[in-house]
Amino acid sequence: MTTQAWTLARALRLAFLSAGALIFLAPYVWMLSTAMKPREEIFSSSLTLIPERWAAVENFSKAFTRVPMLQLLMNGVIVCAVILVVQVLVALPCAYALAKLRFPGARLMIAGIMLGLLVPIHATALPIYVALSGAGVLNTYFALAAPFMISVFAIFLFLQFFRAMPDDLINAARLDGMSELAIVLRVIVPNAWPAITAFSIFSVVAHWNDLFWPQIVVTETAMAPPPLGLIFFRAAEAGDDYGALMAATVVVTVPLLAAFLLAQRRFIEGITLTGLKG
Amino acid sequence: MSGLALRGISKAYGDNHILRDVTIEAKPGEFVALVGPSGCGKTTLLRIAAGLDHPDRGGVWLGERDMTAMRPSERDIAMVFQSYALYPHLTAGQNIAVPLAMRDLTVWQRLPWIGSLLPGQRVIRADIQRRVFETARSLKIDQLLDRKPAQMSGGQRQRVALGRALVRSPAAFLMDEPLSNLDANLRVHTRSEIVELHRRAGVTTLYVTHDQAEALSMADRVAVMMGGRLLQFDTPEAIYGNPAHVEVARFIGSPQINLLAGEVDAAHGIRIGGRLFVEGVGATPGTRVTIGFRPEAIKLGGPGQAGLGASVQRIEFLGSETLVFLEFARGEASLVAKLAPAEATFFRPGQAVTIAVASGEVLVFGADGSRLSVSPAMRMAANG
C-alpha cells in the first residue's frame, strides 16, 4: 500500500471515488454554506460557496433564540436514550433465550420476529395513535418512545450474534455457578459490545432523525424532537429565513455526527478486543 | 471425597438413541476414562454428569447424593471443555476467579461499585486472589494472570481452563477431550501433568477422549463405548489384553489387532488356511467366528519352519519397533506384526515367511462380537 506507484489506474480510481464523495457531501456542504450566508446572498442568482459577508453569528443566534433549541436537543436526547435503553434491555434477554435456550415455541417465535421485521411503523401507526390518544398520553415522551421500545430488529441482530457464541462458553458459566440472568450480564453483554454498538448507531440515527412519528403524536414545541422542531421553526418563525433554518439544521446534525464518530471508534475497539475464538 | 455414579442412563433424540442403559461407577478418587469413536455418546454422557443435559432414564449420583434433578451450578462439579470455553473478556486471573466469586460472594457483593462498599467482601476478595494465585502457581501460569485468552497460546489457555476447574476444589472433575487441541508434543507432556494433578488432588475424574492411547495411559479404569452402549469397563490392562467384545479389541491398540474370519469345526477347533489354529472353543460347530491376536503376539519365522505361510508386503521402521505388514493366503487377508528392530532385519518385502502366534494370545469372538471362551487345553496347532 505505502509504496504503491502513482499509476494512471490509481489516479482514475481516486478521481472516480472523489467525484462520488462530492456528490454525497454536496447537500451538507451547501447546508454549511447557507448557514453562514446572510439572507440576501442566499437568494442571489450567483452560486457561491463562500459567503461575501459572514452571517454565521446572526444565523446561529437566531436558531438558538427564535426556537427553544436546547429544549429540542434535550427532547431528542431523552427520547433516543429511552428508546435505546429499553430496546437493548428487552432484546438482550430475548435474543439470548431464543439463541441458546431450548423451549417449546422458540422456532415459532423466531418466525414471528422475522414477520415483525416486515411490518413498517406506517402500518401500525393509526391503531397505536388511537390507543395513545385514548390513554391520554399524546404530547409526552412516552408517546414518542412507546412504539419503538420493543425492536424486532434488535432481537434479530442480537440473535444472529449470540448464535455465533460458543455453547460451551455458556455451559462453562453454568458450571461456574451462574444463573441465566448472570450469564446474560456477565458473559453475553461484555462479549456483545460490537453488536450492541452497531445496533445503537442504527437506533439513534433512526429515532433522532424520525419525523413521521413525532408529527403524529406531538403538537407542542416543548415536546418536539429536533426534526419536528425544525418544521415548527420553519412554519412559524423562519418563513423564508433559510440562513437561520440551515444554522438550526447544522445544530441538529452535529450531535449525531459526534456520537457516530465516538461510537465508531468504540465499535472498532470492540471488534479487535473480543477474541471470541476458543 | 465421593465417587461419581451414572446408573442406567438412556438418552434419545427422537429415534436416535444416543445412550442405551449405560452404567459407570467411578470409585472415590478414581480416574475413569470414557473412550470411543466420535458419535459413541461419550460426550453426551459427560454432559449428563455435568447437568448440561438430562437423561431420559437413569440417574447421576455423587457419593450418596442423587444429583439427577440438580442444576449444574448446584452439583459441585467442575468441567474442562474441549474448546476451553474461557471468558474472552476476562483476564486469565479473572477467569480462574469466576467460580470462587460466584460461590463465595453474595449477589450484592458481586455488583460493580456498590459491591465494593459492602462489608466483608474485602476479606473474601483477598482470599479469592490468594487462591487464584496459588492455583496459577501450581500450574506455572502465575506470570500470565493479566493476559486475556486471545493473547495466550493453546497450551496456556488449556492450563487456565484447568485452573478454573481446580481452584474451587470440586467434588468431581469432568474433562471433555482437553488435550485434543494441543500439538502432539505438548499433548504427551500435558497428559502426564493431568495425571500428576489428579494424583495430588485425589478428586474423582471422568475423562472423555477418542484417543485410546490417552485412555490407557492415564486412567485407573477405562470405559469403552460404542454406538451408545458401554462395551467394557475395566482396567487398562484388561481392556487391552482381555477385551470383552470384538469392537473393543479393534478400537484399542495401535497398530490395530489382527482379525481373521473363521468357522468352528466339528471338533470345536478353528482352522485358518487349512491349519488348526485354535482348539476347545466354547461354541457349537458351524458358528461363524472372528479370531484376533495383537501384532506383538506374532512370531515370524523363515519359510521352512512350522506355521502359516505368508509373504512380507512392506516394512515400517518406527525407531523403537518395526511393523511388518504381511499378506496371507494369497491376498485374502493382511496382518501386521510388531517386532523388535533387530529381529526385523532378517525380513525383506516379498519374502516368504511363516506366522506363529504364541499360545494364550488368541482371542475368539462370536458372530455378535462377544468374546467366546476357549478351554484351557487350547493349543496352538499352528505352532506344529
DSSP state of B245: B
Say yes or no: A43 and A99 in one domain.
Answer: no
The residue ranges of chain B whose pLDDT is under 50 are 377-384
Give the dihedral sign, CA A182/A184/A188/A194.
Answer: negative
Domain of A31 in residue numbering reads as 8-54
Q: What pLDDT is recorded for position B378?
A: 43
**Cβ-contact B48, B2 below 8 angstroms:** no
Residues of chain A contacting B149 with CB distance shorter than 8 Å: 275, 278
Contacts of A276 in chain B (CB under 8 A): 88
Pure H helices in chain B: 42-50, 92-104, 107-110, 121-138, 154-166, 184-201, 212-218, 236-241, 246-251, 341-344
Q: Domains in chain B: how many in total?
A: 2
> Which domain CATH number covers B293?
2.40.50.140
Report whether A147 contacts A128 (CB < 8 A). yes
End position of a domain, from candidates B241, B272, B290: B241
Query: Do A111 and A145 reside in the same domain of the chain?
Result: yes
The pLDDT value given to residue A210: 93
Pair A18, A69 in one domain = no
Q: Which residues of B touch A101 (CB under 8 A)?
A: none
Helix (H) or strand (E) holding A213: helix A212-217
Any domain includes B250? no
B298 shares a domain with B198: no
For residues A208 and A124, state if they share a domain.
Answer: yes
Task: Show which of B206, B241, B276 is a domain's final residue.
Answer: B241
The pLDDT of residue B107 is 80
A198: closest CA of chain B, how far (Å): 18
Residues B211, B337: one domain?
no
The mean pLDDT of A169-186, rounded to a whole number, is: 92
pLDDT in the model for residue B277: 76
B354 falls within a domain:
yes
- A191 CB within 8 Å of a chain B CB: yes
The answer on A86 and A18 residing in a single domain is no
Residue A142 has pLDDT above 90, yes or no: yes
B185 and B279 part of one domain: no
Does one domain contain both A146 and A235? Answer: yes
Assigned domain for B337 exists: yes
Do residues A90 and A24 share a domain?
no
* Residue B249 belongs to a domain: no
Residues A50 and A69 both lie in one domain: no
For residue B35, the model assigns a pLDDT of: 95
Chain segment A49-86, per-residue pLDDT in tens:
888 888 888 888 888 888 888 899 999 999 999 999 99
Q: What is the pLDDT of residues B16-59, one digit of tens each?
A: 999 999 999 999 999 999 999 988 999 999 999 999 999 999 99
User: Same domain for B44 and B97?
Assistant: yes
- pLDDT on residue B54: 92
Give the model's pLDDT for residue B383.
43
Q: Do A206 and A112 belong together in one domain?
A: yes
pLDDT given at position A238: 55
Asked if residue B168 belongs to a domain, the reply is: yes
Asked, for residue A27, whether it belongs to a domain, the answer is yes
- The reply to whether A68 and A174 lie within a common domain is yes
Tell whether A2 is covered by a domain: no
Determine, for residues B73 and A187 on separate chains, whether the beta-carbon distance falls below 8 Å: no
For residue B329, the model assigns a pLDDT of 65
What local confidence, expressed as pLDDT, does residue A275 receive?
Answer: 45
Tell me whether B52 touches chain A (CB under 8 Å). Answer: yes
What is the radius of gyration, based on Cα positions, of chain B? 26
Which residues does chain A have within 8 Å of residue B88's beta carbon, measured at their own beta carbons? Answer: 169, 191, 274-276
Q: What is the pLDDT of residue B380?
A: 45
Min mean pLDDT across A94-98, A260-264, B266-270 is at A260-264
Q: Which of A161, A162, A174, A175 to mutate to test the interface with B (most CBs of B within 10 A)?
A: A175
**Helix, strand and coil percent figures for chain A, each rounded to 5:** 75, 0, 25
Domain termination site, one of B241, B276, B310 = B241
Does A44 contact chain B (CB < 8 Å)? no
Q: What is the pLDDT of residue A141?
A: 94
Q: How confident is the model at residue A269 (pLDDT cuts 50, 70, 90)?
A: low
Geometric angle at alpha carbon B115, from B111 and B117, rounded to 5°:
155
Query: Looking at the structure, do residues B51 and B182 belong to the same domain, yes or no?
Result: yes
Residues B335, B312: Cα–Cα separation, whole Å? 10
Task: Report yes or no: A272 at the B interface, CB cutoff 8 Å.
Answer: no
Grid cell for residue B280: 476347545
Q: Is A178 on the interface with B (CB under 8 A)?
A: yes
Q: Which residues of B touch A180 (CB under 8 A)?
A: none
Is B159's Cβ below 8 Å from some Cβ in A?
Answer: no
Parent domain of B289: 255-383
pLDDT class of A239 with cuts at 50, 70, 90:
low
Whether B236 maps to a domain, the answer reads yes
* Together in a domain, A255 and A177: yes
CATH number at A148 reads: 1.10.3720.10
Give the CATH number for residue B33.
3.40.50.300
| Structural domain includes residue A202 | yes
Q: Which candidate from A169, A175, A277 shows the least CB-CB separation from B73?
A: A175
- Rounded Cα–Cα distance for residues B284 and B292 (Å): 19
Interface contact A248, partner B, CB < 8 A:
no
Give this complex's ipTM.
0.82
